[in-house]
Structure 1
Amino acid sequence: MARSFIMEAVMLAVHGQLLAPESPVEYIIPYTTILELYEMKDGSELIMPTPEDDAHVKNKIGELIAYFEDSFNKKKIEKALQMAWRKSPPLPINEYVTFTIIYAVENEEYGEVFDPIETELILTAIKEKSPLLTDQLDFLDKLIDAQIPIEVIDVEDFEFATEGDFLL
């Protein structure tokens, strides 16, 4: 059975190891984080610290966008967009990785402390009862300070989180 993680789409471009786990995983991705990919790909701001790494990640973002725009995948995603909190049918990447897109709706519940994307990630983790996977330490600190009732896993701990003996 696949372990589920909530995450932003861009993390797949930045952290290639997430696409090569040793056991099955399902990444539940709020739809608005896919929309962010377009801004990041074409934006002038650096995503990564060096120009070479930035170009590589922007290329990977382009590949992700192409994957999501593939007609078969696009149809699956459009099914999720018909109603708030609806999930797409699974989008298989390889034998161990599946994406599920969710049409999360930011409801300002955490709006004073968190931006809309962060709020969608939090609400998705709560609704899906799945851990949030992140590489943003400032976001992690805000979650702890606000005592948000979700499990959060740093990307650096991803392999440990997918080991068979680890209970989520």
Structure 2
Amino acid sequence: MRRRFVIEAVMVATYGQLLVPSQPVDFVVPYSTILELYEMLESSEPVMDSAEDDAHVKGKIKELIAFFEDPLNRKKIERALQVPWRESSPLILNELIQFTVIHAVDNAQYGEFFDPIETEVLLTALKLNIPVLSDQFEFQDRLVEGEVPVQVYDIEDYDFAVEEGLTAAEWESIRDI
């Protein structure tokens, strides 16, 4: 069974270890985070602190954009974009990794605490009842402070999340306590 996680597209490009899971993974990516990849590539602002790391990550961003622009993948994404909250058919990267692009819509429900991208990530997690993978401690803290009922794993805990993370049913039972 594939473990599913909501994640921003740039994190997949930034953290190479995400692409070598021990078990099959489905990364659910809000479409707006794919658009962010183009913005990051065109921006003069560095993505990473060191010039070498920045060049490497921008190369990975280009590879990820090329993957999403592949004609078959592009067609699957375009179908999903026709209806709010529709998921694309799986975009297969390899035997262990697939992506699902979702046409998430920010409804401003959490607009006071989160920016539009963060809102789409957490609403996707709520709607699909799957955990979020994030490297942003402030975002994770705001989820806890705002008592948002989503499960979140830090990127550093990715291996644990894939191998031993809570199932949706286990998370529901804890959340209801």
The TM-score range, normalised by the shorter chain, is over 0.9
Stretch moving more, 41-50 or 25-34: 41-50
* Matching residue of 1:61: 61
Distance (Å, rounded) in 2 between the aligned partners of 1:162 and 1:112: 31
Letter in 2 for 1:133: L
Change beyond 3 A, Cα 1:53–1:111:
same
Name the residue aligned to 1:129.
Answer: 129
Q: What is the CA distance between 1:94 and its match in structure 2?
A: 0.9
- TM (norm. structure 2) is 0.92
Q: Deviations over 1:61-119 (max 9, x none)?
A: 01111111111110010010010000000001111101000000000000111110000
Q: Residue type matched to 1:108 in 2? A: A
What pairs up with 1:73-112 in 2 under 5 angstroms? 73-112=73-112
CA distance in 2 between counterparts of 1:37 and 1:57 reads 11
Q: TM-score, normalised by structure 1?
A: 0.97
Using the TM superposition, give the Cα deviation of residue 10 of structure 1 relative to its aligned residue in structure 2, in angstroms: 0.3
User: Aligned-pair distance for 1:148?
Assistant: 0.7
Q: Distance in 2 between matches of 1:60 and 1:42?
A: 14
Matched with 1:114 is 114
Give the aligned partner of residue 49 of structure 2. Answer: 49
Identity %: 57
1:30-53 per-position Cα deviation (integer Å, ceiling 9, x unaligned): 000000000001111111110110
Unaligned ranges ≥5, structure 1: none
Distance, in Å, in 1 between the alignment partners of 2:64 and 2:6 is: 17
Could you tell me how far 1:141 is from its partner in structure 2? 1.2
Partner of 1:158: 158
Cα RMSD for the two superposed structures = 0.8
- The DSSP-based 3-state class of the residue aligned with 2:156 is helix
Tell me, what secondary structure is at the counterpart of 1:68? helix
Distance 1:160 1:101 in 2: 24
Matches of 2:35 and 2:51, distance apart in 1 = 23
Deviation at 1:167, TM superposition (A): 2.6
Distance 1:39 1:83 in 2: 24
1:16 matches 2:16: yes
Q: 1:162 & 1:123 partners in 2: Cα distance?
A: 21
Q: Distance in 2 between matches of 1:71 and 1:166?
A: 34
Work out the number of aligned pairs and report it: 167
